[in-house]
């Protein structure tokens, strides 16, 4: 007898939850918001929309299927199984947050309010989508592998730099010859999905001539942030793309960190002399259309 699928609802704490955790009462939260020209009704309305979407999504799960639920902060401790169907209720960034913990499970993005790029379905569509997860698009992920076996995956981008965003020192190898010693604000390696985010912002700001990848394209782009020249550091190689040859970074600072999709709590730490290699990840994210 085959195991029934399990639907895992993924969400994050709402702004109201975070305000109450910080200030203790609604009255204190309301006062805090008023000092910033905001209204508690706006926050409670958004909270109600998320809770209603979660309740409706839960109700749409077939009675003979298993179910689970996980909050964003607990993703690194949650065990996903091959039979899971992942339903993300929230904003686009939440799909990126959960993607690194998956391995081929279909992901359904549900928007509690206005649809996004990754959470594009209304909650009313959950029942039908659960029955037709085969119609999915594959999104390329970025991968980092350290020489000590540490690994990191990201759906949007990976940042490598100083934990306090101070000067990062390293030797950059682009696969095209000799490496260049650099000092910068860090390195971004992004996917087609992330091309509308952080990497896209850098790309526009410097009027780059690179062609940004499409979401499913097995090609990454990389940018060095604010590299500066000195007698010992150069600025010749500050952007490029990754297809066949990987990007390698040999750390020359005492400590650098890498994190993906803005999750700074889930990092890879690299010390002087270690090498990190960036390349398109072998696995992709299956986003249900």
pLDDT the model gives residue 204 = 95
> Which tens digits make up the pLDDT trace of 117-168?
999 999 999 999 999 999 999 999 999 999 999 999 999 999 999 988 899 9
Confidence at 1, pLDDT banded by 50, 70, 90: low
**CATH class of domain segment(s) 141-282:** mainly beta
3-state secondary structure of 271: strand
Same-fold call for 6-134 versus 141-282: no
Which residue shows structure tokens 């955790």? 21
Q: What CATH number does domain 6-134 carry, 3.90.1530, 1.20.1050, 1.10.10, 3.40.50?
A: 3.40.50
Q: Is the dihedral of CA 86, 87, 89, 91 positive or negative?
A: positive
Q: How many angstroms separate the Cα of 260 from the Cα of each of 56, 142, 199?
A: 31, 9, 12
Domain ranges, ordered by start, for the chain: 6-134, 141-282
pLDDT the model gives residue 263 = 83
Q: How many angstroms separate the Cα of 71 from the Cα of each of 12, 46, 54, 89, 200?
A: 5, 17, 12, 10, 28
H or E stretch including 54? helix 40-59
Task: State the Cα–Cα distance between residues 91 and 115, nearest whole angstrom.
Answer: 8
Confidence at 66, pLDDT banded by 50, 70, 90: very high
């Amino acid at each position: 007898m085959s195991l029934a699928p399990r639907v895992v609802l993924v969400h994050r704490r709402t702004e109201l939850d975070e305000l109450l955790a910080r200030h203790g009462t609604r009255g204190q939260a309301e006062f805090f918001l008023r000092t910033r020209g905001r209204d508690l009704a706006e926050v409670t309305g958004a909270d109600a929309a998320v809770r209603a979407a979660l309740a409706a999504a839960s109700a749409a799960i077939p009675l003979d299927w298993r179910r689970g639920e996980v909050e964003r902060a607990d993703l690194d401790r949650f065990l996903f199984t091959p039979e899971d169907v992942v339903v993300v209720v929230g904003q686009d960034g939440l799909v990126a947050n959960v993607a690194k913990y998956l391995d081929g499970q279909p992901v359904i993005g549900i928007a509690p309010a206005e649809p996004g790029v990754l959470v594009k379905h209304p909650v009313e569509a959950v029942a039908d989508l659960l029955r037709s997860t085969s119609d999915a698009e594959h999104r390329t992920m970025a991968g980092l592998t350290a020489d000590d076996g540490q690994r990191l995956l990201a759906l949007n981008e990976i940042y490598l730099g100083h934990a306090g965003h101070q000067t990062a020192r390293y030797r950059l190898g682009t696969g095209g010859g000799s490496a260049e010693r650099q000092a910068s604000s860090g390195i971004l390696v992004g996917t087609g999905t992330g091309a509308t985010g952080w990497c896209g912002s850098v790309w526009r700001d410097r009027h780059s001539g690179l062609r940004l990848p499409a979401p499913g394209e097995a090609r990454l782009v990389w940018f060095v942030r604010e590299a500066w020249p000195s007698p010992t550091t150069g600025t010749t190689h500050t952007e490029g793309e990754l297809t066949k040859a990987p990007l390698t970074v040999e750390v020359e600072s005492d400590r650098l960190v890498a994190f993906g999709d803005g999750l700074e709590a889930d990092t890879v730490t690299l010390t002087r002399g270690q090498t990190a290699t960036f390349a398109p990840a072998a696995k992709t994210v299956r986003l249900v259309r």
